[in-house]
Amino acid sequence: MSLGPRNCHKDLHIVINDTVIDQKPEIMLLGVTLDDQLSFSSHVSNVCRKASCQTGVLLRLRNLIPISAKLHIVKFAILPHLTYCQAVWRFCRSSDARKLERIQERALRAVYCDNKSTYEELLQRAKLPTLLTRRLQAAIAIIMYKVKNGLAPPYIAELFVVTNSQCHLRNSDFTIPKFRPVAHGKHSLTYSGPVI
């Protein structure tokens, strides 16, 4: 008789030096709530609650402070909650990812006092990417760090051309490939990695 993935942890007894380790359904570690299924739903709920409270304050003050100040509040008080340790929980459920995006949308609507524009238009006005795009950029940045420092597997490292330059410029680490149809290759890892 096989146990399903949800039931296999119930019969687990861990004893270290005659001390029984208690099982818990979730634990907070460095500000990230880890649950026994690694779904990160409770973490996303906690993040949404904190960010939603701050967004509510911003909504109440939306007519009292200028747009630039409100945008700074979003970038420096709300977005850090929505993106903290995103490399750990970036593979959360799509329903949880939508909750996070809705809070960012609500905050941007409060910034611009705009209930008619689409979410994409609000992001363009604020010059911000979606939270999903941020998570993907962070994952690509981690890969590029590993490639640059020789920590990536060879099959990934050989995708990129590392430049050996004496100058330490921002874009001098990797060669950005050129593509004939411009739109075709710009969504590939070999292009977006060096750009990021």
Q: Which band of pLDDT confidence, cut at 50, 70 and 90, is reported for residue 98? A: very high
In order, the DSSP letters of 2-30 are PPPTTTTTTT--EEETTEEEPP-SEEEET
pTM: 0.73
Residue 103, number of CB atoms within 10 A of its CB: 22
Q: Which band of pLDDT confidence, cut at 50, 70 and 90, is reported for residue 1? A: very low
Q: At what angle are helices 131-148 and 94-112 packed, to 10 degrees?
A: 110
Q: Which band of pLDDT confidence, cut at 50, 70 and 90, is reported for residue 4? A: very low
Euclidean distance between CA atoms 84 and 60, whole angstroms: 25
| Domains of the chain, residue spans | 14-128, 138-195
- Looking at residue 172, what is its pLDDT? 62
